[in-house]
Amino acid sequence: MLKLSKLATAVALVVAGSAAVAGEVEVLHYWTSGGEAKSVAELKKIMQGKGHTWKDFAVAGGGGDNAATVLKSRVVSGNPPAAAQIKGPAIQEWASEGVLANLDATAKAEKWDELLPKVVADVMKYKGNYVAAPVNVHRVNWMWANSAVLKKAGVTSTPKTWDEFFAAAEKVKKAGLIPVAHGGQNWQDFTTFESVALGVGGVKFYNDALIKLDEKALTSATMTKVLETFRKVKGYTDAAAPGRDWNLATAMVIQEKAAFQFMGDWAKGEFSAAGKVPGKDYVCAAAPGTANAYTFNVDSFAMYKLKDAGAQKAQADLAASIMGTEFQEVFNLNKGSIPVRLNMKMDKFDDCAKTSAKDFVDTAKTGGLVPSVAHGMAIKPAAEGAIKDAVSQFWNDDKISVADGVKNIAKAAATK
């Protein structure tokens, strides 16, 4: 159980409660790579500046599966951390168990309802109460392109529609290069799939088919067109794609071996690390047909119920710090994402981030801001896993007809 550090206990006894209570804050996360670890260190510094003791509980494994297993055993044994990195519908699943803390006092004091788009705030709430604090926004429906490859292939403008995209891909192929860099993991397949679904079908179709899991939408003529387009994209990938990690696919674009990649904005970190400049060496643009939409992936920390007063105070300060301008700026500059706060200054960010931030604000107003299914933001894990499997089977097996692909996805969506 979290408790006051020895020093804080001694201080508290001496001042007999006249000063703010300091406490230990234990944070479970899976940010262990370079930029991520740097960002966590920043949060630790902010918390120590408030007089709290930081206890780092890092569990390696980018997707967070290992962290989730460790978290379950801690909560079941009655010894939860103060905060854990959890996102999407998993937040509500934990809240329904009655183990998450109510953050409304902090949220009200910090004006979270005014600072967050409603669609994002709703993900952080359970039955109308805040139980988690959002850290950032990743845009998922990005298309990355190498400027030199496009020039070599004679592609003069960034494709804005799927027809334009396939015309460009054909030119790249004729130039002897790989049109689409892709890696063979189900979440990568689905990252491409949801961008195709959004680009072909639009926001309403995306919501009906992939979020509401409406059978009519899932079996519609639009879904048939989505799968036909998706399969056509597959035809422009290379034979070595299966099993390839996403960052190796990004490296193909950076090294001028491939023209395009469909991937969230964490890919930008790879371009930046390679010293590449947006607008000059590479292009970041919304996937074809999705310029007026934005699929979001928001990292967040759910806060667990604690008994100790010092730990509770530290936890409230942690929630406020996560949403504070200082951390939002530093963290997102390191991570390639953008601040989740709507009123942030973006002058230190690059052109891709500035575009992302503008589109985030605009789509929040127009209804084009939608959660990413590929990245665990939209539907329950069981249905998400089943649909991902059906989509990857279709992607990997050309013998599965489009009609059967549609049936398989609709059947998977019915998984409870």
Write out pLDDT tens, residues 219-272: 999 999 999 999 999 999 999 999 899 999 999 999 999 999 999 998 998 998
3-state secondary structure the chain: CCCCCHHHHHHHHHHCCCCCCCCEEEEEECCCCHHHHHHHHHHHHHHHHCCCEEEEEECCCCCCHHHHHHHHHHHHCCCCCCEEECCCHHHHHHHCCCCECCCHHHHHHCCHHHHCCHHHHHHCEECCEECEEECCEEECCEEEEEHHHHHHHCCCCCCCCHHHHHHHHHHHHHCCCEEECCCECHHHHHHHHHHHHHHHHHHHHHHHHHHCCCHHHHCCHHHHHHHHHHHHHHCCCCCCCECCCHHHHHHHHHCCCEEEEECCCCHHHHHHHCCCCECCCEEEEECCCCCCCEEEECCEEEEECCCCHHHHHHHHHHHHHHCCHHHHHHHHHHHCCECCCCCCCCCCCCHHHHHHHHHHHHHHHHCCEEECCCCCCCCCHHHHHHHHHHHHHHHHCCCCCHHHHHHHHHHHHCCC
Amino acid type, 196: V
User: What domains can you pick out in the chain, each with its CATH number?
Assistant: 6-138+297-352 (3.40.190.10), 139-296+373-413 (3.40.190.10)
Measure CA 318 to chain center.
21
Residue 2 pLDDT exceeds 80: no
Predicted confidence at residue 67, as pLDDT, reads: 85
125 phi, psi to nearest 5 deg = -110, 155
Which has the minimum average pLDDT: 60-69, 161-170, 270-279, 370-379? 60-69
Predicted confidence at residue 3, as pLDDT, reads: 36
Contact 350, 284 (CB under 8 A): no
Predicted confidence at residue 14, as pLDDT, reads: 30
Predicted confidence at residue 12, as pLDDT, reads: 33
Cα–Cα distance, 1 to 308 (Å, whole number):
8
CA dihedral 406→408→413→416, nearest 10 degrees, is 170
3-state secondary structure 155-216: CCCCCCCHHHHHHHHHHHHHCCCEEECCCECHHHHHHHHHHHHHHHHHHHHHHHHHHCCCHH
Confidence grade of residue 66 (pLDDT, cut at 50, 70, 90): confident
Q: In terms of pLDDT, which residue wins out, 389 or 21?
A: 389
Predicted confidence at residue 11, as pLDDT, reads: 32
Predicted confidence at residue 343, as pLDDT, reads: 81
Beta strand pairing status for 24-29 and 83-85? parallel
Q: Give every CB contact of residue 296 below 8 A, 6+ residues apart in sequence.
A: 119, 120, 137, 138, 139, 140, 360, 369, 370, 371, 372, 377
Residue 347 pLDDT exceeds 70: yes
Q: What is the pTM of this model?
A: 0.88
Q: Give every CB contact of residue 353 below 8 A, 6+ residues apart in sequence.
A: 265, 268, 332, 336, 338, 346
CA distances from 285 to 33, 134, 159, 276, 355 (A): 26, 25, 9, 16, 9
Write out pLDDT tens, residues 315-329: 999 999 999 999 999
**Residue-averaged pLDDT of the chain:** 92
Q: In terms of pLDDT, which residue wins out, 405 or 6?
A: 405
Q: In terms of pLDDT, which residue wins out, 2 or 297?
A: 297
Predicted confidence at residue 63, as pLDDT, reads: 67
Confidence grade of residue 62 (pLDDT, cut at 50, 70, 90): low
Residue 22 pLDDT exceeds 80: no
Structure tokens that stand for 123 in this block: 């993900």
Percent of the chain with pLDDT over 70: 94
